[in-house]
Copies of this chain bind each other. A is one copy, B any other.
Amino acid sequence: MSWSTAQVARMAKVTSRTLRHYDRIGLLVPAWTGNNGYRYYEQEQLLRLQRILLLRELGLGLNQVAEIVDARHDQVAALRQHHKWLLREQERYARLAATVSETISQLEGGNEMAADRLFEGFDVDSERQKEYEAYLRARFGEGVQEHLDESKGRMRDWSDQQKSEFLAEWPAILRRVAELAEAGVAVTEERALDVLAGHYAFVCKAWTPNKHSYRGLGEMYADTEEFRSQIEAVRPGLAEYLRDAMAAYAEARLS
């Protein structure tokens, strides 16, 4: 069954403008578009929209929302995690209400409330950002998010030489890993681990992952569309192979 833009907008209590915006930025692409240009959405898109609105409600920017809903991840497990997030947000409102109650009591008693107590529970944005970061840390490991940020953001500050080095090295590594996959080399073989040492050294230019983080990075590569599509473009199935090779490397050579 499919629904038009207005039908979805009505059900989800958003505007059709919002849905068009989300299509435009690739956040929620309709199931199909008719010859007339009309957008039609199906159950899968509705479920995705629910997650989008939820994460938006939890204060994430749309870029961050995209990161999360795009990640390959068991949908039910993701929803469970969002549910926990909601409960924590609920607790925050309880804290706000407690602060207001305290202010009322103090005013009624003719007292002055301690200035810094007035704003207990109000650090909304930083707390929400912490939740987001905690989510990523739990999902991928320590430092992986920073690595992602750097790969996206810091390149802006790089010199042209740094950029071209990066742009040369990353694909070269992918190609070496692809050759392993092509040759049917098991990820635990010494030969594979040596190639992965090259990747590890490449990553260590920005940050030194531990065992857990390096494995997490491999999962991020496989699970987030941004990296995955790059890797899969080199060779189908490479994302999984790289992920497994990184896990094997972490196991064998990191602590």
Residues of A within 8 A of B (CB): 1, 3, 11-13, 43, 46-47, 49-50, 53-54, 57, 75-76, 79-80, 82-83, 86-87, 89-90, 93-94, 96-97, 99-101, 103-104, 107-108, 112, 115-116, 118-119, 122-126
Contact = CB atoms under 8 A, between A and B. Distances in A.
A86 B107 contact: no
25 contacts: A1-B115, A11-B115, A11-B118, A12-B118, A13-B122, A13-B124, A13-B125, A43-B115, A46-B115, A49-B118, A50-B99, A50-B100, A50-B119, A79-B100, A79-B103, A79-B104, A82-B100, A83-B101, A83-B104, A86-B97, A86-B100, A87-B93, A90-B90, A90-B94, A90-B97
A126 to B, nearest CB: 7
Contact of A13 (B75, B101, B119): B119
A99 B54 CA distance: 10
Contacts of A123: 13
A108 B76 contact: yes
A194 B249 CA distance: 92
Contacts of A54: 96, 100, 122
Nearest to A125: B13
A246 B181 CA distance: 85
A118 B47 CA distance: 7
How many copies altogether? 2
A79 to B, nearest CB: 5
B107 A11 contact: no
A93 B99 CA distance: 19
Contact of A12 (B12, B89, B122): B122
B107 A83 contact: no
A75 B107 contact: yes
A116 B43 CA distance: 11
